[in-house]
Structure 1
Amino acid sequence: MSPVIVGVSLKMYFGHARARAWFDDVAAIARAHPGVQSGAVQLFVTPSYLQVLPAISAFAGTPVRIGGQDAAAEESGAFTGEVAASELAEVGASIAEIGHAERRRLYGETDDVVAAKTRCALRAGLSPLLCIGETARLDPDAASDASVAQLRSALEGAGAGPVIVAYEPVWAIGAPEPAPHDHIRTVATALRAALDADPDRAGSATIYGGAAGPGLLSALGDAVDGVFLGRFAHDPTALATVLDEASALAALRRTRGSSGGTP
């Protein structure tokens, strides 16, 4: 049975010392957490580039995955300031966050750039964390169409390999509340169907981000494979509550599976 995923992006909120302290605190939680240790819950963290190596060191011996918040659209060469997906993989990262709404809005990343980065990440053996979501608030069916189109564009020409799709409607990022539950269920179901229909995407997952917090996993149930947290997770204790929630959901899914019940 697939794990329940809990992801955290630190964006550029932490300085180096604070990040290292956070890594130590969260690593201690991960080492003591039955769900994380058993693999029922998969935790990943995407810190800033300078924090990737300390994160890999701090989480050594745990199942926690570390990723970069971006990856270059080229394999190597004269691209000042860029970091290649292959280098991320070389130092021990296993995820590359690609196509976040902030990268698109602030740095002009296009669908073509996102697709190029996705191809590089997969060639390097990384799991692309594809940030997908409509910019304006739409009805659920229209949002599904827009999100699936964005996903297919990101995967254009990409080699085989699993991806993590983070559905983050842009209008919900940083909002007081996440998107309505029925809205999330509809779009996540469409994204999952698109992944299931692609034979190259075995093992992929769909998670929700955008004002995600405690209680959301329980409310969404099997509609998503996990959540992608932002500032809420800056408090390690708060993150631990979501890990507990994910563990409870994983246990419920196991019970349903063993009893032959309908999810």
Structure 2
Amino acid sequence: MSNPTPRRRLVGLSTKMYFSLQRTRDFTNSFISKLAAVPQELLSNIDIFIIPDFISLASTIGQLESSPVPIWTGAQDCHWEDQGAFTGEVSPSVLSSAGVKLVEVGHAERRRIFGEDDAMVAKKTAAVSRNGMIPLVCIGERTQGDVHAAVDECRVQVDAIMSSVADEAEVILAYEPVWAIGASQPAGEKHILDVVAGIRDLDSVKSRTGTTRVLYGGSAGPGLYEKLKTGLDGLFLGRFGHDPQQFIKTIQEVAEA
């Protein structure tokens, strides 16, 4: 059955590997300053997150403590084991103890460049959830096509994810058509809404008791959410959000829509 609790809207961004350490600090300070000018009641029913690089995580968490409203800090990836002989990997247990709220897993770049498959993404999703954080799992079809084909491709990804976590666990799905990532324009609004409706109607999603929020990513930016508000819970920004003023503008648009 569906969760009777209304889903809060959610908006955030990843800096990927674009920022230097100093730029991350400057961005975060500028964001906090600009956010203070937004009416606080407008932000009371929306969750906001920032996902910096690993080196910047601790300092970003510290900076965000001065935010006028709670801001979640996320991590861009993690290993599926809590500890072990995995040189260079990052433990989900350590991320949790550092104060990380959510972890992004399964991004198309991780799948394409590093060969991560659905089974690996599912193991990472389980690791994030069991350590008390929220998995933000990226899903999406690789090639542009019709809605039916897109939902079928997403179904395999979503079923693997949901089978790896407790039924009551919170999960965030970021629908990002792979062909739209980095493009000058997002996918068409009707395509996005129809695919997301199909995702929400999957048995592995609609049968859950835990909250499942669905965001749109893939060239998402200001002005888009007003067109998607009937079917999406928020936006996951990339480079469009790397300007603090544009990030603030998008947060306001999601909150007001």
* Same structural fold, with TM-score higher than 0.5 when normalized by the shorter chain: yes
Residue of structure 1 equivalent to 2:3: none
C-alpha distance in structure 2 between counterparts of 1:60 and 1:7, whole Å: 17
Q: TM-score, normalised by structure 2?
A: 0.92
Q: How many residues align?
A: 248
Q: Tell me the TM-score normalized by structure 1.
A: 0.90
**CA distance in structure 2 between the aligned counterparts of 1:3 and 1:128, rounded to whole angstroms:** 16
State the distance in 2 between where 1:156 and 1:228 align.
24
Is residue 89 from structure 1 mapped to residue 89 from structure 2 by the alignment? no
The answer to whether 1:7 aligns with 2:12 is yes
In structure 2, the residue matched to 1:224 is 232
Shift of 1:154: 2.1
112-121 vs 25-34, greater mean Cα deviation: 25-34
Distance 1:35 1:204, change over 3 A: farther
Higher normalized helix content (fraction of residues): 1
Aligned-residue CA RMSD in angstroms? 1.6
2:53 aligned with 1:45, yes or no? no
SS at match of 1:42: strand
The whole-number CA distance in structure 2 between the counterparts of 1:227 and 1:220 is 9
Identity of aligned residues (%): 38
Deviation at 1:158, TM superposition (A): 2.1
Secondary structure at the counterpart of residue 49 of structure 1: coil
Is the 1:73–1:117 Cα contact (8 Å) retained in structure 2? yes
- Map 1:17-96 → 2, pairs under 5 A: 17-34=22-39, 38-61=43-66, 62-96=69-103
Task: Give the corresponding residue for 1:199.
Answer: 208
1:126 is matched with which residue: 109, 129, 133?
133
Corresponding residue for residue 253 of structure 1:
none
**1:137 counterpart letter in structure 2:** Q
Alpha-carbon distance, 1:240 to partner:
1.4
Q: Output aligned runs, 1:91-106, within 5 Å.
A: 91-106=98-113
Structure 1 residues 119, 211: CA separation in 2 closer, same or farther (over 3 Å shift)? same
Which gives a bigger RCO, structure 1 or 2 (Cα 8 Å, sep 6+)? 2
Assess if the C-alpha contact under 8 Å between 2:226 and 2:253 holds in 1: yes
Moved more, 128-137 or 183-192: 183-192
Letter in 2 for 1:84: S
Tell me by how many angstroms 1:218 deviates: 0.3
Deviations 1:12-57 (A, max 9, x none): 0000001000011112233332357742221111110011111111
Are the counterparts in 2 of residues 30 and 36 from structure 1 also a CA contact under 8 Å?
no
Alpha-carbon distance in structure 2 between the residues aligned to 1:72 and 1:66: 18
Aligned equivalents of 1:30, 1:148: Cα separation in 2: 37
| Superposed displacement of residue 148, structure 1 | 2.1
2:248 corresponds to 1:240: yes
For 1:248 and 1:168, how far apart are their aligned partners in 2? 23
Q: Tell me the equivalent position of 1:139.
A: 146
Confirm or deny: 8 A CA contact 1:121 1:128 kept in the other structure.
yes
Q: Do residues 165 (structure 1) and 173 (structure 2) align?
A: yes
Q: Report deviation, 1:234.
A: 1.0
Q: Distance in 2 between matches of 1:157 and 1:243?
A: 31
CA distance 1:38–1:235, change in 2 (3 Å):
closer
Distance 1:7 1:207 in 2: 10
